[in-house]
Amino acid sequence: MDKKRILIVDDDENIAELISLYLVKECFDTEIAGDGEQAVQKFKEYQPHMILLDIMLPGMDGYDVCREIRKVSNVPIIMLSAKGEVFDKVLGLKIGADDYMVKPFDSNELVARVQAILRRMEQSDSSRNQAQREETGEIVRFEGLTVNLTGYSVIYLGKSVEMPPKELELLFFLANRPNQVFTREQLLDKIWGYDYMGDTRTVDVHVKRIREKIKDYANWAITTVWGIGYKFEVK
């Protein structure tokens, strides 16, 4: 069985080596990049299964690296930073990071998060492949909107809309259960898995991204139920 490849991006060589040591111990293969430009280049060459990305890098910072990679790939990204303010976490998630950890962090927790995210990716891929093998389309249709979970595609007002897997899965889950209210905790459980170690703000960020791409329609809308969560409201 091939080892999962993890790209570690940090300009502090000691921290990068320590993270690598813990990951190698858990049978991962690792590669280290010391700045943003090198990270983008190594991403292309190394083709990692996951990226651990420090934000404060010389030259091209972690946010820019994340944006650059998100243009071409949905590879999982965990951002690492000494900055623990809510703004920094939300910005990291908003531009496409899958998780965010504040330094100093426990190395065992980092390894656990890496394993949890990769496990969810494998389960998602397995479910997608199974659906394709069965040739049964999981599709929801409303006026102006078609969400195809089997083919991982979204058609809005006759045009294809690009969405990362988690955004599409969240949209499909809500649209497939019209007018049913779900708490943020329930959505975390259903879409990210019960062992997800992030917080409920992840759901808010993904809903915001979906709303930026899919505007409310005359007959339906993604509605915020204040103090509870969200629903796909059909009028």
**Helices within 2-57 (DSSP H only):** 13-25, 36-46
Instruction: Report, as an integer, the average pLDDT of 138-155.
Output: 88
Between residues 2 and 95, the one the model is more confident about: 95
Q: Is the pLDDT of residue 132 over 50?
A: no
The Cα–Cα gap between 153 and 25 comes to 38
Sign of CA dihedral 56, 57, 61, 67: negative
Domains of the chain as residue ranges with CATH = 5-123 (3.40.50.2300), 137-234 (1.10.10.10)
The Cα–Cα gap between 110 and 73 comes to 22
User: Which residue from 188, 191, 183, 177 is spatially nearest to 228, judged by alpha carbons?
Assistant: 183
Peptide bond between residue 104 and the one before it cis (omega within 30 degrees of 0):
yes
Per-residue pLDDT tens over the stretch 17-30: 999 999 999 999 99
Tokens of 205: 């960020």
Per-residue pLDDT tens over the stretch 27-82: 999 999 999 999 999 999 999 999 999 999 988 999 999 999 988 888 899 999 88
Q: How confident is the model at residue 197 (pLDDT cuts 50, 70, 90)?
A: low
